[in-house]
Structures are given as C-alpha cells and as structure tokens.
Structure 1
Amino acid sequence: MRDRRIVAVVYDGFQLLDLAGPADVFATAALIAGGGYRLDVAAATAGPVRAHNGVTTAAVAFDELTDIDTLLVTGGLSASRHLALAGPIAALARRARRVASVCNGALLLAEAGLLDGRRATTHWLVAEDLAAGYPRVEVDADPIYVRDGAVWTSAGVTAGIDLALALVAEDHGVALAADVARGLVVYLHRPGGQSQFSTAMRTAVPRSEPLRELRAYIDANPAADLSVPALARRAAMSERHFSRVFTRQVGMSPGRYVEHSRADAARRLLEATDAPLARIARDCGLGLPETLYRTFRRRWRISPADYRRRFQQKEA
C-alpha cells in the first residue's frame, strides 16, 4: 500500500490536540492496514515549535516538502496572529491533492483564499469572526466537519479526529475507519453538531441579578409556563422591555433560550433515564413526542430514539 503523505502545518502557540488527534488516527490506520500514511509536521522554519500547552514538536520547513497528499492546517489561540502563513499555505495547497483544517485553522485557509465560494466550518466560538472577516466563505457553525470539493474543514479541537476518520474512510473504506474508531474508542460518525456542546456557552451571563435568577428558573422548570408574558411578569417588566433587555444581556431572545433550555433538558433525560418519549416531551415543556422529534432533528440532526441508543449511560 502506497503511503499518503500528510503534512500538518503548525506555528508557535498551535493547539496540540489539533495535531495529535488526527496524527493518531492516521498512525492507527497505518498500523492496522500495514501502511498507508506518513505524517510530517511543517512550519515556516525548521526546528522546534511550541504548542499552546507548552509541548514542543519538531517541524521541517515548508520548502523541504514534496509530494504532498493532504495538507492539514492546525488551529490554536494564536492562529489569527499567523495570517502571514497564508501565502506559503496557498503555495503548498497547489501541490496537494486535498486541503483540510482543524478548528480555527480555517482562518488561515480563508486568508489564503482557499475557502472562497465554499461552505466551511470552524470552532463555534470564532464562526462569526470567520463569516465577518471573509464574506466569500459560506460559514456553517454546526457541523463537526464539512467537505466542499477537495477542501475539508472541521469544528473545534477534537473534531479533528472526526475529520481524520472521514479522510481515512475516503481513502481506504469505511471498514478501516471503523476499525480505527474502535481502537481509539471514539465514534466513527459522531451524531449531532457543535450545538450539542455549545448551547450553554453561547449565552452570556446576564448583568442583572433578576435576569440571572430568571434564567436559572427557566433551566430548572422546563415544564412551567415560560411564555414571554409569564416570564415578563416574573421579571416585573413589560413584555416589550423584558424581551429587549433579555436579548441584549443573554445574547438570544427569551423564546429561543426557552427552546434551547427545554431541548437540553430532554437530552439529559434521554441520556439518564428510560422514560418514554411522550413523558420526556411533556416533562420538558415540549408537549408532544412529535415536537420532541422535530426539535432533535433540527438541533442535532438525529432522532430522540437514536440519540438515546448512542448516548445513554446505563449501570453495569
């Protein structure tokens, strides 16, 4: 089996897991299949490169590289300070069969013009920055990874593992990718998108103590009357003023927050209980099982029953 050369681009302050996760996927695939991949770490200059967590890795210089199959650009907190790498990355991309990024490494691909006219994803925290800074990129913050032609982008940090598994499946078939996933104890196809991890973190903590208490009340009482009139009364505000203040301080409208909170409550019950779907829908304020189903399909692209089968934690 001919080895495919994977070149991972790093820089000072990169996210180590953006490199280590995919590296272990490709190494495990090569171990199982008896070959198939070779990984090189590359930087602007040869020598040690320090990750954000302090771990140092050795890198070859960009100009030493030949015969690139896959160019993989890592992300990191310092990614936006290394946009000058866009030129070398664009040059390397022209010699590669395909290009990929992990996390906010998509910023470097966008700066290089490699995402123009393409759909792409990145870490949900920087998705708005990517969309605002590069209007020619169609940014979708929810998927774990996106393929648009020969360009692949992935979501935050551990999504690099999902991305690498998808690349292995494309190269050598789903069976090998599944063997790698089992060996690494990860999902071959992780259900849902980034929204399952980011819902609580997307909202700001309200500055107002009454609104902080109200948000806690919403989360603790999903089956209660959480309509805007009811919530406005609890906050002792007019409906219009309440909606405006809540949206400004929390970062989303009251109705949207309630929908997200109820969906999260249903998700927790699916993980932790064997309660029928009808009871979960009722206890979480979603009413009917059909509403629960539509909510899960819209937010996590999976049915409640499938979510329960994949995520429920049962006692031995």
Structure 2
Amino acid sequence: MKKHNDTRPRLVSRPQKRVVILGLAPVSALDVIGPAEVFTYANRLCMGDTPPYRLELISSTDNVHLRSETGIGLMAHKTLAQERLDSPPIDTLIVASGARSVLALDREAIAWVGTRVEGVRRVCSICVAAFALAATGVLDGRRATTHWAKAHELAQQYPKVNVDANPIWIKDGNVYTSAGISAGIDLALALVSEDLGDDIAMEIAKNLVLFLRRPGGQAQFSVTLQSQRAAGSGLEDLCVWISEHLHRELTVEMLADRMATSVRTLIRLFQKELQTTPAKYVEDVRLEAACRAFEMGGRSMEEIARRCGYNSIDVLRKAFVRRLGVTPREYAQRFAPQSPAVRTYG
C-alpha cells in the first residue's frame, strides 16, 4: 500500500519547554484555553522524540477545580501548594486572571510569582492579569499593556508602569503583556514563533483561522464601546450625533455650540467621561467608521473617505498608517469580503 507523505513540520530534537499557566480564580476561561490551544497545536504539528512543550495549568487555590467567570470549571494539573513542593524548572510562566480576581488579588499567589520571575525565561500576563504582574513589581519601569478599558486604571494604580493601551501585546525584556482576552492567543503565537519559527506558528494560525500577526492594535476595537461610558451623561446625545455626521467638519467649537456650552467645559466633560479630548474622540470615531466600511465592502475608497470625513484618500491613508500600522488597502485585503469592489481599493 502506498504511504501518504507526512507534510507536518519536522522539529529538530531539543529540550522540552515547560509552560505553566497560573490561573487566579475566578479566571477568564478564554485567557487559559486560548493560549493553551496554541501550545497544544504546536505539539501536534511537530514531530520529534518529544513534543516541544509540556503544558500545565496551576490553580491558585487549594483545589484543582479552577473556577472560571463563565461558571464552567477548569481542571488544573495541580494546585499552587503542590507546585511549591517539588516541580521541574519553568521555561514560560503565563498568568491568567479575571475581572473579579484582580479586584482582590491572591497575595500568596502574587508573592510566588514574584519569587519565580528571576528564574524563568519568559513571564507573561493575559489581559487584566497585568495587574497581577504589576503587583509583583516586575512591570516597574517597563512598557506594558492590558485590556483597553482597564489601561487607565492600571496606569493610575501602578504609576511606575509605562502603560500603552494600543498594542495587542508588548515584549519588554523577558516580560510579555497582552491586551484584551483574545490577544492572549496572539501572544502565544508570538512565543511559539520565537521558539519554533514562523512556519510552525503560521500553520497553527491557519488551523485556528487567525492572523499570525494581527494588524493594528486595540484602537480598532475600542471606540464604540468606550463611547458607551458616556451613557447618562451630557455627552451621550453628542456622541450619537457625531457618529451620524462624520461627513461634516467637526471642530471643537462646533461641538461646543451643539452642546450649548464653552469649549473649555466641553473639553473638561470629555476628559472626565471618556478620558480623551473632543478632537481625539472624533478622530477615533472616523477611523472606526472607515474600518467598518472596509470590512463590509461594496464602496470605493473615495466614497469611504468622503463619508467618514477625510478630505482625501491621502489623508485617510495617513490616518490608517499612523494609528493601525497598515494602509487602507492592506486593511481591506485582510478584512473585507472578497468582492470586485474590494479588489479595486487603492
């Protein structure tokens, strides 16, 4: 019988890396499962004497049944107390938490992370678990990111951390922090790419139906959700009006007149309610509207630029490159339906 050729990547024999995910209960389930799937796919894809990764989930509590915010329990390999007794060295330590667990951090778990940081090759946080890393002091003087909605709070609570809310993930030395939830998958792909190369990481991304390197940053997701924080304030109606009149010239003076208030008062309201300026908010809404238009397809670049308030295609292009790191054409190629209209984007 003719044998089928095995096209899986062949891995040169090398020591197995122990990847430990520490779950701070109640944990966000996707923060655990997302990165775990990436390392598991790497083990499936690579052929060799041993899989490249030994993946373990550790519960911060005294129970291997790790509670998640969804109510669906996760089964850890061991508890933190068991890990302390006698365990192999850790190559990569990933801390995962949840919105509630970072409100009352487990001090014993934080202290343990602090003692292990110097002995691991890489230490990482997923989403709001950046608060846990910050509590150990390891982020002091480093660039770090977290979920965009928590970035301001992280910066206020830990002023020694250089918080950047836009990137999907950040590497500073051997410390890695990732943005909101699904960004943990992006980070895990980057870690695999460092260890095993882009070919294997790309194959994993294809299997998970993901981009190996997602274009842009959190800026492409946050504006509409951010504006919801204005609900119940004097800005709520104005934010809706802005989104419906992007084709107009929206100066700060015009917006202040719309609110029947002074420019100074309007700026103060935006800073208080949305932690931004009126001009920056308009810029963000324009960019988000343009992104959504490209994703839907069916319109020319000229029409999208006009509808979203950009004076020219060149101004639109510069906005995309400055904020997302890609041109409108590159963005459309990644996200738009593959229709003839999309293929004409310049």
TM-based fold match above 0.5: yes
Aligned partners of 1:141, 1:247: CA distance in 2, in Å?
Answer: 16
Aligned partners of 1:20, 1:117: CA distance in 2, in Å?
Answer: 30
Contact 2:92 2:122 in 1 (8 A): yes
Q: Deviations over 1:223-252 (max 9, x none)?
A: 123223333333334444444445544543
Q: 1:26 to 1:88 in 2, by over 3 A?
A: same
1:137-156 matches, cutoff 5 A: 137-156=161-180
Identity %: 39
Structure 2 residue aligned with 1:205: 230
Structure 1 residue aligned with 2:257: 233
1:65 aligned onto 2:87: yes
Q: 1:86 to 1:262 in 2, by over 3 A?
A: same
Q: Deviations over 1:157-212 (max 9, x none)?
A: 11110000000000000000000000111111011111111111223225356x43
- Runs of 4+ off more than 6 Å: none
TM-score (norm 1): 0.92
Structure 2 residue aligned with 1:4: 17
Aligned partners of 1:244, 1:89: CA distance in 2, in Å?
Answer: 40
1:1-316 matches, cutoff 5 A: 1=13, 2-34=15-47, 35-44=51-60, 45=62, 47-56=64-73, 57-60=75-78, 61-63=82-84, 64-77=86-99, 78-84=101-107, 85-203=109-227, 204-208=229-233, 211-245=235-269, 247-314=271-338
Greater displacement, 20-29 / 250-259 = 250-259
Q: How many residues align?
A: 315
* Unaligned runs of at least 5 residues, structure 2: 1-12, 341-346
Contact 2:297 2:339 in 1 (8 A): no
> Which amino acid letter does the alignment assign opposite residue 275 of structure 1?
R
Q: 1:315 to 1:275 in 2, by over 3 A?
A: closer
Deviation at 1:66, TM superposition (A): 1.8
Q: 1:160 to 1:315 in 2, by over 3 A?
A: same
Q: 1:31 to 1:220 in 2, by over 3 A?
A: same
SS in 1 for 2:230: coil
Contact 1:271 1:308 in 2 (8 A): yes
* Unaligned runs of at least 5 residues, structure 1: none
Aligned partners of 2:233, 2:216: CA distance in 1, in Å?
Answer: 33
Contact 1:14 1:76 in 2 (8 A): yes
SS in 2 for 1:72: strand
Structure 1 residue aligned with 2:3: none
Greater displacement, 78-87 / 214-223 = 78-87
Q: 1:216 to 1:23 in 2, by over 3 A?
A: same
Aligned partners of 1:208, 1:111: CA distance in 2, in Å?
Answer: 33
Aligned partners of 1:106, 1:234: CA distance in 2, in Å?
Answer: 40
Q: Deviations over 1:265-286 (max 9, x none)?
A: 2112211224333332222111
> Which amino acid letter does the alignment assign opposite residue 125 of structure 1?
A
Q: Deviations over 1:7-37 (max 9, x none)?
A: 1101220111111001000000110003211
Contact 1:169 1:177 in 2 (8 A): yes
Q: Deviations over 1:255-310 (max 9, x none)?
A: 22221221122112211224333332222111012211121122222211111110
